[in-house]
């Protein structure tokens, strides 16, 4: 199921947002949000792998490592990245204001920011805004809108799974449309559950879920300074995730993350099409992921799909340069239901049929590396003139 309450779907969570004009004081769109748990939560996070890391990521990593989280405060319109020592002080000030608002310790607050890099954060306005937020179950809608930047639509998902004979809920919200690339994909994402998890269990579950979802999407090949994926577990359901409950919980968590991740790709800046790459015949799971992600990250593949150009050689090229082992004599490529390259040789194929497939809003590409039996999937979107326009005008 999707499109419901997102981060407040699970028991024990409320949310809310206000507008303070983070990017432009004259524009009071929703841009500061607060996600609140009614008790300390086991927490886990996955953060940017960019070595230029934003202050909120530094602070939140420290707070997650210290123990539990009670809330997450988020702003859009300003990344608070490359802002020097003041940036970290500002991130801590956001955490302190949120802690005061919900009756927690500063160390129990996660902080996330997204927007323009290298601009000082308007901390005073943000702190005053945090004081005005009134979290509620219905506040999921305001929060999911407040975290958006170039996104054109909200991204929420949820699942209910029965564990040990009782219902457990998982919900989430995400933002992301540009600077999207695996390890980790550029975005902010917040996932909540009323399952009972320990910190280590939460970390393992989140890493497994992220690897096949948020780390398998690409829009433009750039990884931002602010990527943050957080999981908060309230335990309000009373159901402990262990033993036979582990696999179905991780599957449901992966479904929530997967729905959010695919929504990010579908809303990619300037995107008109989404394509799924299915790799099989790889020598290892790592090789399969590497090939799939390289194909989704190829600008030549993206532009061919955008222009409905049946240039399937670009797909094989990308797989070949990925570093994955490939046996060219046994490799195959299939676009939709059309075989274009079979066991090392061009197939008899209809260019018009492939062009028609590339004109669809969703495209499936299958590649067999001919080197083993491992598989992987990844998702990407086309590269359009609109992407160039959006990013040429981002700060203006």
Question: Which among 343, 320, 324 is positioned nearest to 333, based on CA atoms?
Answer: 343
Match 């997967």 to its residue by tokens: 258
Q: Distance between CA 380 and CA 165 in Å, rounded?
A: 38
Which residues lie closer than 8 Å to 363 by C-beta, 6 or more apart? Answer: 273, 274, 275, 276, 305, 335, 336, 357
Match 């490592």 to its residue by tokens: 65
- Geometric angle at alpha carbon 67, from 100 and 15, rounded to 5°: 45
Q: Distance between CA 300 and CA 313 in Å, rounded?
A: 10
> What SS3 class is residue 165?
coil
186 is catalytic: yes
Catalytic residue among 68, 123, 186, 294: 186
In the structure encoding, which two tokens stand for residue 344, read together?
């090392």
Instruction: Indicate the angle between helix axes 313-321 and 299-306, nearest 10 degrees.
Output: 160
> What SS3 class is residue 125?
helix
State which H helix or E strand residue 281 sits in.
strand 274-282
* Cα atoms in the 13 Å half-sphere on the side-chain side of 208: 16
In the structure encoding, which two tokens stand for residue 74, read together?
């988020």
What residues form DSSP beta bridges with 276?
364, 379
Q: How many CB atoms lie within 10 A of CB 262?
A: 18
Is cis: bond before 77, omega within 30 of 0?
Answer: no
Q: Distance between CA 246 and CA 209 in Å, rounded?
A: 12
* Residue 342 φ then ψ, to 5°: -130, 120
Strands 274-282 and 362-368: parallel
Instruction: Indicate the angle between helix axes 84-102 and 123-132, nearest 10 degrees.
Output: 10
Q: How many CB atoms lie within 10 A of CB 361?
A: 11
Catalytic residues: 186
């Amino acid at each position: 199921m999707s499109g419901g309450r997102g981060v407040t779907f699970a028991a024990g969570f409320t949310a809310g947002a206000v507008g303070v004009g983070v990017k432009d004081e004259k524009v009071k769109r929703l841009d500061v949000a607060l996600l609140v748990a009614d008790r300390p939560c086991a927490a886990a996070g996955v953060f940017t792998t960019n070595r230029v890391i934003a202050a909120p990521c530094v602070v939140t990593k420290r707070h997650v490592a210290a123990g539990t989280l009670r809330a997450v405060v988020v702003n859009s319109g300003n990344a608070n990245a490359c802002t020097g020592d003041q940036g970290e002080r500002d991130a801590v000030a956001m955490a302190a204001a949120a802690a005061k608002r919900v009756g927690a310790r500063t160390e129990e607050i996660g902080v996330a920011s997204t927007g323009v890099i290298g601009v000082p954060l308007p901390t005073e306005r943000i702190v005053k805004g945090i004081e005005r937020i009134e979290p509620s179950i219905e506040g999921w809608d305001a929060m999911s809108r407040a975290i958006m930047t170039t996104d054109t639509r909200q991204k929420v998902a949820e699942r209910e799974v029965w564990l040990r004979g009782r219902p457990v809920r998982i919900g989430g919200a995400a933002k992301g449309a540009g600077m999207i690339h695996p390890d980790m994909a550029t975005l902010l994402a917040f996932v909540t559950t009323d399952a009972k998890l320990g910190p280590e269990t939460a970390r393992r579950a989140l890493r497994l879920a992220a690897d096949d979802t948020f780390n398998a999407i690409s829009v433009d090949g750039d990884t931002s300074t602010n990527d943050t994926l957080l999981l908060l577990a309230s335990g309000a359901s009373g159901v402990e995730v262990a033993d036979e409950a582990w696999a179905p919980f991780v599957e449901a968590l992966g479904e929530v993350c997967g729905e959010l991740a695919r929504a990010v790709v579908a809303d990619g800046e300037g995107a008109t099409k989404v394509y799924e790459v299915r790799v099989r015949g790889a020598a290892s799971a790592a090789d399969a992921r590497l090939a799939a992600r390289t194909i989704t990250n190829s600008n030549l593949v993206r532009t061919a799909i955008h222009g409905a150009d049946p240039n399937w050689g670009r797909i094989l090229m990308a797989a070949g340069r990925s570093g994955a082992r490939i046996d060219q004599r046994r490799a195959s490529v299939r676009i939709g239901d059309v075989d274009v390259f079979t066991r090392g040789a061009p197939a008899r194929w209809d260019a018009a049929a492939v062009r028609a497939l590339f004109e669809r809003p969703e495209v499936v590409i299958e590649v067999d590396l001919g080197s083993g039996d491992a598989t992987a999937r990844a998702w990407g979107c086309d590269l359009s003139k609109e992407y160039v326009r959006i990013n040429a005008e981002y700060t203006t």
